[in-house]
Amino acid sequence: MNIPSDLKYTKSDEWVNPSDGKMGLTDYAQGQLSDIVFVEVLVSVDDTISAGDAIASVESVKAAAEIYAPVGGKVIAVNEDLADAPETMNSDPFGAGWLVQVEISEEGDLMDAAAYEKYCEERE
């Protein structure tokens, strides 16, 4: 399980990069969902979101899931490439598989990598 130390994490398995505001679904979560076959981003550029708002919906061969914003702020970019290549969330969840980028104005309840790793281990 990949848990980059420079990111922050939520108990609902989202990550955020505090330095650039990109966010997405963790490696742990994409592994639990299995093969992601559909991604719908629910927010648009210039929207203002709050931590905990639904930002995307994903469907896999196993289940459907909502993805929630780990932080709040103004949306400055949406990863449009995921509509045509949802499997990128499986193959590169912390790189090309990002969902939304925001100018961070509010932090949610976030964990560092060590705390998130411990949280994931407790659930297995």
DSSP state of 59: E
pLDDT band with cut points at 50, 70 and 90 for residue 124: confident
Separation between Cα atoms, residue 18 and residue 34, nearest integer Å: 27
Residues 37-49 have a mean pLDDT of 97
Residue 31: both structure tokens together: 């592994």
* Top-tier CATH class for 19-107: mainly beta
Q: What are phi and psi of 30, to 5 degrees?
A: -65, -30
pLDDT, tens only, 48-81: 999 999 999 999 998 899 999 999 999 999 999 9
Question: If residue 124 lies in a helix (H) or strand (E), which one and from where to where?
Answer: none
Separation between Cα atoms, residue 40 and residue 55, nearest integer Å: 9
What predicted TM-score, i.e. pTM, was given to this entire model? 0.95
- pLDDT, position 110: 97
pLDDT band with cut points at 50, 70 and 90 for residue 108: confident
Question: If residue 65 lies in a helix (H) or strand (E), which one and from where to where?
Answer: strand 64-68
- Give me the residue spans of the domains in the chain: 19-107
